[in-house]
Amino acid sequence: MTVNGTNSFGRLMRHLDQGDFAKSEKPLALVEDLFGKEWLSTNGGHRLQKLWARKDTLSSTELFALGRAIEILTPDHSIWLKRVANDIIRQPKNAHGYIAEIMVCASLSTSDSTVLPASKGNKGFNLTLTMPSQFKYLISIKNHDISEHEALFREKCATLKAAFAKKMKELKVHGALRIASSQFIELTSLDSLVSWVSKDLKKTGSYEWQGGGVKVLFSELHSTEERLLAKGFFSSELVVFGGFHRNELANQKSRIIQAAENLKKHVSPSPNAFRFVWMRVQSSADVALISDVAKELIEHGVSGDDVGVDGFIIVQPSVVREGDSSMVNTVFSIVEAPHAGLQASRKQAENISIDVLVGGVSSEASRELLQVDGNILELPPHQYVYQDSDFYILSKMENGVATGNVSSPASGVRNHSVFDIGGQEMGLTGRLSPRAEELLNF
């Protein structure tokens, strides 16, 4: 079966380069050349291998951006690229950080300046950006994935979804399980919920966990005119949101201090160089809070003490929905200290130019939205969120022809099409909608 929008890689890529496959395939071919088709196609659990195995628009977007970065850097830094690619392959735990180095170097490569990646083992900073006047930016790249607390929260929720979907099949009902709390949902509570769903869940109703601090609602899902649910395939919807772990915000703040202290150990202040920390944070991080901490630190340095850094570029890529597809949006927050050399450079019209490689750019974080009962809900900040829903929808008969729609109307929500053929139902599941829309490269 041919899927509309795919190319020779079998991927959804019509959204890239205005649907010109000749252009959009080249970056993917460069990724394949650098890392090797055999390794990329191996099911080894590496983040790049996971992306390569998926064929959806989001994974194609991420691989396209990486390929663009490789294309930009290859003319001047091919040897460095091969070394970093080997590090990415051999050190999966550190792979995201190495990928970030490639992406940032490419993002800062323009015709008006020169980017030089630091030599292997260099301490303090990862690249030097030299302007025509020879004024330099020494840039330390810090890449922060989701915290251990959030990762475990997601892992437990995925286990809960599997248990709930299995239970709905046993009960032969379409069901929704919604869990909400303003406080952190303890992992032991999530384990307890998995056990309860697996063994004891039978009646719809409201329940409480953690002394009433966690509200649980189990309800049946029913057909509507727009959504006629199947009889033999049972839909399951899980929505969980709870407050940050008590250490989450403190850890986000401390990363600013740690980055400055590390740079201070290895790089002294200079009128001819500006020390920048490029800090990529996860989508749930509070960019405004982190920026405020950076500003406070910079202001302290202005008073006379060297705080180790002259500025921060705080970067937050996230997945945003546009209709039935996903795209990448990157939030930038830049904090700078007064610096005579920087001011002199800027008077000569020397400014940093950043190419985000793909997607959109904004100065404010995107809103966290959930689709529940067809309604869009906006969540407050400082929440861990998990949504995973499978709806099995009967196809409609139009002029004697059954038509179905396999789609993903919201992140984590999948509509599967079911056809009734002579009283027997047959399900059609979309393979191009990822179960979790999380960025693996950005």
Q: What is the pLDDT of residues 190-200, one digit of tens each?
A: 999 999 999 99
Instruction: Give bridge partners of residue 240 from the DSSP assignment.
Output: 179, 386
Q: How far is CA 412 from the centre of its chain?
A: 13
pLDDT over 50 (residue 253): yes
**Among the listed residues 139, 74, 54, the one whose alpha carbon sits nearest the alpha carbon of residue 439:** 54
59 token code pair: 């994974």
For the chain, the residue count is: 442
Name the strand (E) or helix (H) holding 256: helix 248-266
List Cβ neighbours of 48 (8 Å cut-off, separation of 6 or more). Answer: 35, 40, 88, 95, 99, 440, 441
pLDDT over 50 (residue 2): no
pLDDT over 50 (residue 3): no
SS3 call for 345: helix
What is the distance between the alpha carbons of residues 19 and 288, in angstroms, rounded to a whole number? 36
Least confident of 75-84, 234-243, 370-379, 416-425: 370-379
Pairing of strands 413-421, 407-410: antiparallel
Query: 110 exposed, middle or buried (CB, 10 Å; 0-12, 13-18, 19+)?
Result: middle
pLDDT tens per residue across span 311-324: 999 999 988 876 66
pLDDT tens per residue across span 209-220: 999 999 999 999
Q: How far is CA 330 from the centre of its chain?
A: 10
**Is-contact 221 176, C-beta < 8 A?**
yes
Pairing of strands 136-143, 175-180: unpaired
Residue of 297 and 320 predicted with greater confidence:
297
**Is-contact 110 141, C-beta < 8 A?**
no
**pLDDT value for 162:** 97
Pairing of strands 127-130, 114-117: antiparallel
pLDDT tens per residue across span 88-124: 999 999 999 999 999 999 999 877 889 999 988 888 8
Quick one: DSSP state of residue 325? E
Helix axes 57-90, 95-107, angle to 10 degrees: 110
What is the distance between the alpha carbons of residues 302 and 296, in angstroms, rounded to a whole number? 10
**pLDDT value for 1:** 34
**Is-contact 230 427, C-beta < 8 A?**
yes
pLDDT over 90 (residue 6): no
Pick the most confident of 110-119, 152-161, 283-292, 315-324: 152-161
What is the distance between the alpha carbons of residues 360 and 414, in angstroms, rounded to a whole number? 25
